Structures are given as C-alpha cells and as structure tokens.
Structure 1
Amino acid sequence: MTSDHHMVWRRCVHLGRVLLPLVDQEPWRQDRRRENLRAWGIDTGVGERLIEIFAALAAHAVAVDGSVPAAEFDALAVSTVAEAAIGKQDYELLAGLPGTFVDDRDEHAVKVFRLYAYEGDQYSRQLIRLSREVRHALVVLAERSPAPSPTCGDVFRRAAEAGLSQ
C-alpha cells in the first residue's frame, strides 16, 4: 500500500471514529441507537464499533473508486459517503483495504465486518441495519452543517472544535 493510500485509510478511520461522538451531542440519539442495537441482538459495544468501521469502509470505497488522493480527501461530500454506506455491496466496501493495519482495533473490526459479510442470513440483515445507522448518522451531521453540501473536511473541523482528537 502506498503511503498516500495509507493516509487515505487513516482519514477514513478518523471519520468513523468521530461520527458517533458528533451525532451524540444530542444524547437521545445515542439512547435510540443503543435501543435499536439491543432490539437487533447486537451488543452495543460491538455494534458501535461496527458502525465506526462501516463509516470508514464507506468513505474508503468512495475514495478508492474516485482515485482520491489523501490531499483531496477532505473535499469528499458527506452525502456521497452516506450513499455508499447503503449503496455498495459488502464486498465492495472491503475491496482495496490495507493488508496490514496500524491499529489492532481497526484490524479486528474489519475482520468482524468481513465475518458478518460472509456468514450471510442474520448477519447480512445486521449489516443492512448497521448500514442504515451509518447513513442516518452521516445525514444528521450533514443536516447540522451550515455548509450547503458539507464535506468530510467540515466534519473534521467540527470534531476538532468539539475536542475530538485525531
């Protein structure tokens, strides 16, 4: 993997990690999400980590499809990432991922996602539900933005303002 590709993946992971804390600025949203996860039989810790990595995978798929260099990643529209979360097949989200991961948490989350994708049946339904949660969270962030078409860079700026570190 080239260093630029590695930097794109790191930006994607950062997007996934700041997503829920930014959405949860309205505490009722966290409660609703956790109720949904429990109702679907998904452990909340596992579900929220899968939502994070799902958002990273969707952003990565958009970046790879568009051959977006790391220097231009912040210009990706949040709406495009949101649509990729529900519009791409599981295997499309897994394409082009790094062979090795700097963070063991990311590697583990990708492996769990991969397991869900390949198991089928109830796990496929879980991924569909999680994809909707990812899309919903991204749409919420986009709707809160004063920018007419918010980008990943706008999300990163809001995360920095909220004290969410890289």
Structure 2
Amino acid sequence: MASDHDMLWRRCAHLGRVLLPVVDEEAWRQARRHEHLGTWGINIAEGERLIEVFAALAAHAVAVDTSASAAELDLLPLSAVADAATGKCDFELLAGLPDTFADGRDELAVKVFRLYTYRGGQYSRRLFQLSTELRGALIVLAERSRMPSPRCGQVFFWAAAAGLSSDHGDLTS
C-alpha cells in the first residue's frame, strides 16, 4: 500500500498531466505554447513534459509547505501553485520528493528537471521560461473559473468533464 507521501506525489503528477490539455480547450493556446517552445529552442514534447512535471513539483512543494495530504490537494489554490512555479528556486521544488516513483516517466522527468537545475546556464534559462509558461497556464485557468479563488480540485473536475486520462506526454518521444 502506498504511503500518503507517495499518493500526494501521484496526485500532483496527475495534476501536471491534465493541466495542459485542460488549458488547450482553446486550440490557439497550444499553438502559441509550441511557438514559444520553438523560439526558445526547446523540443515541443520535452518542453511540454517538463511543464507537466514543473506543475507537479510546484503543487507538491505547496502541499508539503502547508502539510496538505493527498486528499487535501484539491483544496490548494491555483494561485499558490502559480506563485511556487515562479517564486521558488528550482532546487526548492525538488525538496521532499519520494525516494522512488511508481511511474517511470515521472522519475525520468524529475531527473531531467534536476539535471537542468544543477547544470545552470542555458538550462536555468529554459527552466525560467518554462516556469513563466506554467504560470501563464495556471492564470488562464484561474481566469476561466467562475470561482474567485479556484483550486486544484477544479482542474481535476474540468479534466474529468473533458474525458481526459492521466496519460499524456513523454520525455522519450
């Protein structure tokens, strides 16, 4: 049986995987993101997978900071996740992660994120660019919501309503 800490990571990873498809309700948003990634010299598949893991890491960091359980992830404000994406240092997002990952894609994506974090230079710049793209996606969702302070649970609701599975993107493609 998985620990609550492992379950928390799985819920955060699921949030990351459904985030971009929910944002892409308007097709032009995906085209604009792909254009940004291309301009920055980032492979689209890798860039989108890194945005997904960035979202998971930011949500996880907020959950750990607030001592939220996996069951309480739904209650985290999207604004707090957006703030963590651009307000925390990259290495801070890596703190408190599980020792092992049930999904090999998550493990690989976290390793790539960690490599980017510690290599510095152009890789740090890429993480900054991806963090602003993530923050923008979270702001789009917050503005789309009828609630004054939308929460992560609303993203899960929108994803379920759209029939999205949690299996999107791969760094190896």
Distance 1:54 1:140 in 2: 17
Distance 1:101 1:116 in 2: 19
Distance 1:23 1:70 in 2: 23
Distance 2:89 2:115 in 1: 14
- Which residue pairs with 1:105 in the alignment? 105
Unaligned runs of 5+ in 1: none
CA shift at 1:125, angstroms? 0.4
Distance 1:116 1:101 in 2: 19
Deviation by residue 1:94-143 (Cα, 9 ceiling, x = unmatched): 00111111111000000100010000010000000000001000110111
- Which residue pairs with 2:24 in the alignment? 24
CA shift at 1:165, angstroms? 2.5
Is 1:124 the counterpart of 2:124 in the alignment?
yes
Identity %: 69
- Which residue pairs with 1:3 in the alignment? 3
Runs of 4+ in 1 over 2 A off after TM superposition: none
Distance 1:131 1:60 in 2: 15
- Which residue pairs with 2:66 in the alignment? 66
Structure having greater relative contact order (Cα 8 Å, sep ≥ 6): 2
Classify the secondary structure of the residue corresponding to 1:96.
coil
Deviation by residue 1:79-100 (Cα, 9 ceiling, x = unmatched): 1001100000011000011111
CA shift at 1:15, angstroms? 0.7
CA shift at 1:162, angstroms? 0.5
Distance 2:77 2:99 in 1: 27
Counterparts of 1:1-166 in structure 2, within 5 Å, are 3-166=3-166
Distance 1:17 1:98 in 2: 18
Which one-letter code corresponds to 1:23 in the other structure?
V
Deviation by residue 1:48-71 (Cα, 9 ceiling, x = unmatched): 000000000000000011111122
Which one-letter code corresponds to 1:139 in the other structure?
I
Unaligned runs of 5+ in 2: 167-173
RMSD: 0.9
Q: TM-score, normalised by structure 1?
A: 0.97
Distance 1:125 1:71 in 2: 34
Q: TM-score, normalised by structure 2?
A: 0.93
